[in-house]
Structure 1
Amino acid sequence: MKPVHLTILISLTVISLFAFTQFEQNRVIPNKSFGTGEKVEYRVHYGFINAAEAKVEIAKSVTIVNNRPCFKINVTGRTVGPFDLISKVRDNWRSYVDTSAILPHVFYQNIQENKYRKEETIVFKHDRDQAVSSIKDETKTYSVPNNIHDIISGYFFLRTLNFDKISEGEVIEVPTFFDGEVYKLRVRYVGKDVIKTKFGKTRVLRLNPLIPDNKLFKGEGAMKLWVSDDANRIPLKVQVELMIGSLEMDIKSYKGLRKDLVWF
């Protein structure tokens, strides 16, 4: 897998956390957390310096894919300010997620990072446990586990989970297909907390995505994630401890949430 820009890697990790059991055509995952028309924007910064912007948006209407109603979900990331001069990033991901099963049917990515370019479409065939990737004129079929997620659908399934049934300290392993490979992403549920944002204080769930050893992050537990402790389950803050300093992502704006966020 080609290296992904650090600020975009945060977004990928945040939205790639959870998977679920055997696919059934008529299965229904209860969802009271999100719907059409939702839009959340984030600011990524290194200290006081703005580094990037990220946006997660659900289209205002449902799209039919493979004769199934799907949420059309776009995630974009771009560098800004001094970081845009050093390492220019313009990335876009899109997933068509089954509104009932919360599974991806089609995933698309358009990566522009400095001179590197990649445009890919992946069609998920859950009845065959296959992911079919198309890049330019080349098509490859991969064998994948039951109910494999892409990097977007996993995040949205996370938002349907009942954390009251997950023990503090429990580690969840997640198979996710990305860049031609299946990865076991691991995340630990730390517990509950209260944090302060630009909108006020609010109750959150603390998660700790476990990162393999690398030269960028300071240890396996270098990433911390705070998610709203309500029906929405949206990320409000991310912090990554680097070998030099730390990178943070904070919620910048939101609209179209199914439930109002509670601030105090």
Structure 2
Amino acid sequence: MFSQIGNIKNGEKLSFRIHYGILNAGYATLSANQVNYRNAPHYRVTGIGKSTGAVRAFFKVDDVYESYINIATGLPSHYVRNVSEGGYRRYFETDFNHDNQTLVLTNKLDKTSKNFKTVKGIQDMISAFYYLRSMDTNTFKVGSSLKINIWIDDEIYPFMLKVTGTEMKNTKFGKISCLKIVPYVMSGRIFKSTEGVTMYVTNDANLIPVEIKAELLVGSLKASLDNYHNVKYPLNFK
């Protein structure tokens, strides 16, 4: 059952500071703004990530993601992944047709397009995050799990998220109660294990991530909430 994007406020912006080991590696922002797309209300969510400081000197990252998410269904209509990470370069745009479970993937670098068959309820990397945040907090609680299929580049990746507990997390704004979520991901390509990522999201209707940890094949990454603007519900920092 797919839900509406009901827990997001127009104009919401979340900012994160990213660390690679002890290094201040960069920042990321997520901005959600309501637009009319394909004659229907959507959130246009823009995600930007950049490396900074000493890390940028030897590994330059300039990533832009966009997802147009249908507010009524919570499903993506259009997805952009335009990334430059060191010598790695990808620029894909995806158009989803959920009625017949197909999509068109366009490679903007070589100007080619391919058609793919997908599955019901397919999400992209950005829309999946907002779909998660629209879960009913009465059902998305400790002990619950959620299966989700995510479109990444030119493949469908099945994920399972489990809420494993609650924890008070320290942030720059104070302490706040969080749900601990473990996404079960593919190991061997980037992550050390299938449980290499841990997310802490506010234990309230916002479900805003305040910390994300990832154990990589080489080193570890941590993203921490650095700023927030125009969230729908008050955040109860202590």
TM-score, normalization by structure 1:
0.83
Tell me what 1:206 maps to: 180
Tell me what 2:82 maps to: 110
Deviations 1:164-184 (A, max 9, x none): 324644443211112111110
Q: Is the 8 A contact 2:19 2:26 kept in 1?
A: yes
The DSSP-based 3-state class of the residue aligned with 2:125 is: coil
Deviations 1:181-206 (A, max 9, x none): 11101222102221111100011110
Q: Is the 8 A contact 2:5 2:73 kept in 1?
A: no
Q: Is the 8 A contact 1:204 1:227 kept in 2?
A: yes
Please state how far the C-alpha of 1:121 moved relative to its aligned partner: 1.4
Deviations 1:215-248 (A, max 9, x none): 6544322221100111111110012234565321
| Cα distance in structure 2, aligned partners of 1:217 and 1:118 | 20
* Cα gap change, 1:216 to 1:145, in 2 (>3 Å): closer
* Cα gap change, 1:110 to 1:213, in 2 (>3 Å): closer
Alignment length (residue pairs): 236
Q: 2:166 aligns with which of 188, 192, 201?
A: 192
- Farther off after superposition, 185-194 or 237-246: 237-246
| Cα distance in structure 1, aligned partners of 2:117 and 2:14 | 33
Tell me what 1:93 maps to: 65
Q: Is the 8 A contact 1:32 1:258 kept in 2?
A: no
Tell me what 1:138 maps to: 112
Deviations 1:80-114 (A, max 9, x none): 11211121110101011111111111111211122
Tell me what 2:226 maps to: 252
1:122 aligns with 2:91: no
Tell me what 1:162 maps to: 136
1:238 aligns with 2:224: no
Any gaps of 5 or more consecutive residues in structure 2? none
Q: Is the 8 A contact 1:32 1:231 kept in 2?
A: no
Q: 2:126 aligns with which of 127, 137, 152?
A: 152
Any gaps of 5 or more consecutive residues in structure 1? 1-19, 22-28
TM-score, normalization by structure 2:
0.91
| Cα distance in structure 1, aligned partners of 2:93 and 2:216 | 32
Q: Which structure has the highest strand share of the two?
A: 2
After TM superposition, the structure 1 = structure 2 runs for residues 43-54 of structure 1, keeping only pairs within 5 Å, are 43-54=17-28
| Cα distance in structure 2, aligned partners of 1:162 and 1:65 | 26
Higher relative contact order (CA 8 A, sep 6+): 1
After TM superposition, the structure 1 = structure 2 runs for residues 4-15 of structure 1, keeping only pairs within 5 Å, are none
| Cα distance in structure 2, aligned partners of 1:259 and 1:51 | 30
Deviations 1:33-55 (A, max 9, x none): 21210000001113432012111
Tell me what 2:15 maps to: 41
The DSSP-based 3-state class of the residue aligned with 1:227 is: strand
* Cα gap change, 1:132 to 1:206, in 2 (>3 Å): same
Tell me what 1:84 maps to: 56
* Cα gap change, 1:41 to 1:241, in 2 (>3 Å): same
Tell me what 2:44 maps to: 72
